Structure 1
């Protein structure tokens, strides 16, 4: 086994979804899909916000974020798709698909969903995978699927590639991403002037500038949290601009 760092993600650590009702959503996935609670605590450094995690497997979790500002405002075609094929705003989750390993598992999950009085459609055979579909809290469109063993490369449709104006060279690059050689020294954040403007997190400008300019080890220490005590006085206050400025001094 190589000791070299892996230069691309190797799976899902957790999916974080906003919810208007933390208790309801935890109970839904616990009862309907059998996901045990992993953790439930005040979200690190975020005022009056709760973070809840459910277990998918040994390395993957399903997470939810809740606070008083998150409302159940479903606008089909914009915020939510309503089904696995309809549109919603770019960057939002069109639908969420969970994995099982076998057809028998898919049927067992389907029966569990229906036994809870929830409509579940499928299985549907998509060639590359087989899937079932159903709805969840806050207007979520949900799927459970397993890969059928088909070669994924068979499902790169030349007509779609041409329609998207992807050249042969670009297609080859998509199939085989360019390797990355990690430098001996850590790569610093790009300067505010040279960073790609399209990909910026949304924070107040002063806070954002301090965050991206603060050394990694200093920021890690500032945001470090501890295991919640048995009794708590409430959420830990988020780092302030003043906190960052003090560390920069």
Structure 2
């Protein structure tokens, strides 16, 4: 008998901590149009049997993807790793196209959410914002030329990883990715105000 091929099917859910379960559900349903699909509450953690009441929420992030949260009222106030910049740890959701991305940006801003972007990452375009728990969220849409660019990136990924592992400096194999974004920041010389 052949051994089964070990391969992950997909992410079942991704879980974060939240400050307030109800506020979190209302924010995600209002701002990102996610459906609230499930709540589980216990006084004991099933895996560790630790006595600790919690509320566990599940939101539909589309295509079988689930975003989950835990409210933990007996634990100290949540924080973030002070050694990790705020832009690093985030969750990104894919949207259909740039028109949808811009529509979400307008929708979020109309709801009082501060949005950064649209940022051009060449293969995709993104906006960034924070949920009421301080978690950074990204919405990203594919660039029309995504497939061709992904092929170029695929061809250099192992070389880039090897170079990075030796030097801890950004390899230049794919520096074309953010060339347009960097060009926005360069002011033409010889212009005086």
Is this contact kept in 2: 1:14–1:60, CA < 8 A?
yes
Per-residue deviation, 1:75? 4.4
Match of 2:54 in 1: 49
Query: Unpaired segments of 5 or more residues in structure 1?
Result: 86-93, 167-249
Query: Unpaired segments of 5 or more residues in structure 2?
Result: 168-193
Match of 1:152 in 2: 150
- 1:88-143 alpha-carbon deviations (Å, 9 max, x no partner): xxxxxx11111112111111111111111111121111012110011112221111
Is this contact kept in 2: 1:72–1:138, CA < 8 A?
no
Q: 2:98 aligns with which of 76, 97, 103?
A: 103
SS, match of residue 53 in structure 2: coil
- 1:211-233 alpha-carbon deviations (Å, 9 max, x no partner): xxxxxxxxxxxxxxxxxxxxxxx
| TM-score normalised by length of structure 1 | 0.54
Is this contact kept in 2: 1:13–1:60, CA < 8 A?
yes
Is this contact kept in 2: 1:81–1:141, CA < 8 A?
no
Alpha carbons of structure 1 residues 139 and 109: separation in structure 2 relative to 1, 3 Å: same
Q: How many residues align?
A: 153
Pairwise CA RMSD of aligned residues? Answer: 2.6
SS, match of residue 64 in structure 1: strand
Separation (CA, whole Å) in 2 of partners of 1:105 and 1:71:
38
Runs of 4+ in 1 over 6 A off after TM superposition: none
- 1:2-22 alpha-carbon deviations (Å, 9 max, x no partner): xx9663223322111111211
Higher strand proportion (structure 1 or 2) = 2
Is this contact kept in 2: 1:30–1:36, CA < 8 A?
yes
| TM-score normalised by length of structure 2 | 0.68
Alignment of 1:74-113 (within 5 A): 74-75=79-80, 77-78=82-83, 81-82=85-86, 84-85=87-88, 94-113=89-108
Is this contact kept in 1: 2:53–2:74, CA < 8 A?
no
Match of 2:31 in 1: 32
Match of 1:18 in 2: 17
SS, match of residue 138 in structure 1: coil
